[in-house]
Each structure stands twice: as C-alpha cells, then as structure tokens.
Amino acid sequence: MEGTTAASFLLLFFVLLHSHNPGVLVHGGVAPPRGPLVIHYYNHTCRYAEEFVKHQVTLAWNADPSITAALLRLLYTDCFVSGCDASILLDGEESEKKAPQNTGLKGFDVIDRIKRVLEARCPGVVSCADILNLAARDAVALAGAPKYPVFTGRRDGMHSTARSVDLPPASITWNGALAYFKSRGLNFLDLGTLLGAHSLGITHCVHIRDRLYNFNGTRRPDPTMSNSTLKQLRKQCPQKIKPGQPDPTVFLNLHSGKNYTFENYYYSQALHRQAVLGIDQKLTSTMDGVRISQEFADEFEDLRRTFALSMSRMGNIGVLTGNQGEIRKNCRFTNV
C-alpha cells in the first residue's frame, strides 16, 4: 500500500497475531464490530442525532478540554463492567457510581445536556449508551485522535450495582491486566493501544505514592522509574498529606498533559522509564509491549488508526439491542 512504512507492516502483524477477528485493520479505517450495531442507525428516526451530540461536546470541550479524559473514563467504566449499556449513568444509593473505583468520575452533566437536546427533538429514540459512545468519539477527535465511525443501535441497561464493579487497580500486574481485557473479548494490542488514552488524563497521588516511596513494601521507590521522573513526581506528591487536605493530582503525560491532547508521547515515556502509573510502565515489561511502544512512539498515524479500531471493539462489549433493555428518557433513571 502506498505510503505504508515498515512499522505499519509490524502493526498489521500484531493485529493478525493477537486479534480474534483477523483482517479487521484496513488502511485508513476500521472494519465493523460483530453484532447488530450499524453505522448511522438513527438516520431515519433522528436524522441529525450525531450532529446534535457533536455540537454539545464541542461546546463542552471549548469550555474545558479535560472533558475528553472524563468521557473516555466514563465510557471505559461503563463498557468494562456490565457492557456498554449506560449503567454507569444511573443514579442510586448502590449504583456503579458509588463504587470506590469510580470516585471522581465526571462528564455526567454533558451527557445530561445531550440527552435533553435529543429528547426535545426525537423523544424516546436515542439511547444513553449510544450517546456516551458518540460523545467520547467526538471528544477524542477534538483532542487529536481520529474521528472513527461509531456503530449505533445500543439500548440501555436497567440495572446498576456497585458490587458489580470489578475495575482493576493501577497497581495490577501486566498479566492480570491482559487477562482482564481478554475476559472482555479484547487482546494484547487493544490493551497497549487503549492505555494510550492516558496521554490526556490525570491521576491522584494516592494511586502512585507506593511507586514513589514504598514499592511492594520495600520502603524504596519502584526501580523501573527513572530518577528524574521520581524527583519530579515526589515534588508533586508528598509522602504524607495533612488530614483534611485534598490529595494532589498529576498529569499522566508529563510532556504536555495540561493541554489535554491525544498524542504518542505516552509511549516515549514508557520506553524511557518515565511512566506515571505502574500499569503504564509495565507495558514495556514484555518484548511485544516494547515493540508496540516503539512503533507508536515513532508512527503517530499507526497509533491513530489502531486506537480507532480498539475504541470500536471496546464499544461493542456486551451491548443490548433489539428488545433488550430500554431507551431511557433520562440517563440517570430507568423508565419504570
């Protein structure tokens, strides 16, 4: 293919090697996920639904670019727990929102605004699950990722419980993270690619303090972290904070995190032992991870295309269609 580099051939090799659906990567696009989801599902029932979503996301992003990271995290926490059914959006004393792993989730107000707009124009038509997937897509496009096609037709789940939330901690082992992804029908390349979303996120110091001061109970820092990164993060994350004082945050992208842009510097950080989260550094603990990191660090367009593929695959986890679930009138509550 014209313009294809040696790195692109390497990427294709990894896709074919690790994917459950060989041949899904195509030059410049993504093949559709399996299942009943289709492109432009709402063309006949709510013609401008995707444009309405895009407009509201653009307004939110212009006001605060961090909405991209918020919506990506929201989509991840939804899809990986009970499937992409918008159960994370439901309110309730024991809902998924109340799980400790979901502390600090944001972006609900943006989804609420989009839903109000769509209900005013096409009542009872567009699901909250599709809204969340479309909104995340538009937000990452504004941040510099490709605007990949979102296959729509999802319906909304009717149950949400905190005890169902099994999202892994940032300290999970690489094999544990890979097993978790495989349990959702994703693979090694999906894991390495979707971790790249950390290029525009933040984390609280509580999630990395062990790496800085007491790695695995050794009372020493994580030996896989470079000395310069250790010094920088220790300045931002003191070993102890005063009672009542908020836990500080740090950007996961030490290069340009404050810009909230989608870029490939995340992979350069990992290759130079500068990753912030333990799971990010563990990406380079295997030869396959090193090769993927090197390729994405060198070839941004390869990352963009593969990110589009992995986002599409993630959005197909456990979807409800047909007569399953419902189309909520309000994303925070079921209809009955």
- Asked whether the CA dihedral 316, 78, 182, 146 is positive or negative, the reply is positive
Does 168 appear as a known binding residue? Answer: yes
Q: How far is CA 129 from CA 67, 70, 120, in A?
A: 18, 16, 18
Amino acid identity of residue 265, one-letter, is Y
Does 238 appear as a known binding residue? Answer: no
Could you say which of 34, 47, 73, 155 is catalytic? 73
Contact 22, 16 (CB under 8 A): yes
What is d(CA 3, CA 5) in angstroms, rounded to the nearest whole number?
6
User: Token pair for residue 319?
Assistant: 């979807």
Does 96 appear as a known binding residue? Answer: yes
Does 83 appear as a known binding residue? Answer: yes
Does 204 appear as a known binding residue? Answer: no
What is d(CA 317, CA 296) in angstroms, rounded to the nearest whole number?
25
What is d(CA 312, CA 84) in angstroms, rounded to the nearest whole number?
11
What is d(CA 94, CA 160) in angstroms, rounded to the nearest whole number?
8
> Torsion over CA of 97, 101, 104 and 106, rounded to 10 degrees?
-60
Amino acid identity of residue 320, one-letter, is L
Does 248 appear as a known binding residue? Answer: no
Say whether 73 is catalytic: yes
Does 130 appear as a known binding residue? Answer: no
Does 30 appear as a known binding residue? Answer: no
What is d(CA 60, CA 66) in angstroms, rounded to the nearest whole number?
9
Residues annotated in a binding site? 78, 81, 83, 85, 87, 96, 168, 198
Binding positions for substrate: 168
Residues catalogued as catalytic: 73
> Which residues are documented as binding site for Ca(2+)?
78, 81, 83, 85, 87, 96
Q: Which residues are annotated as a binding site for heme b?
A: 198
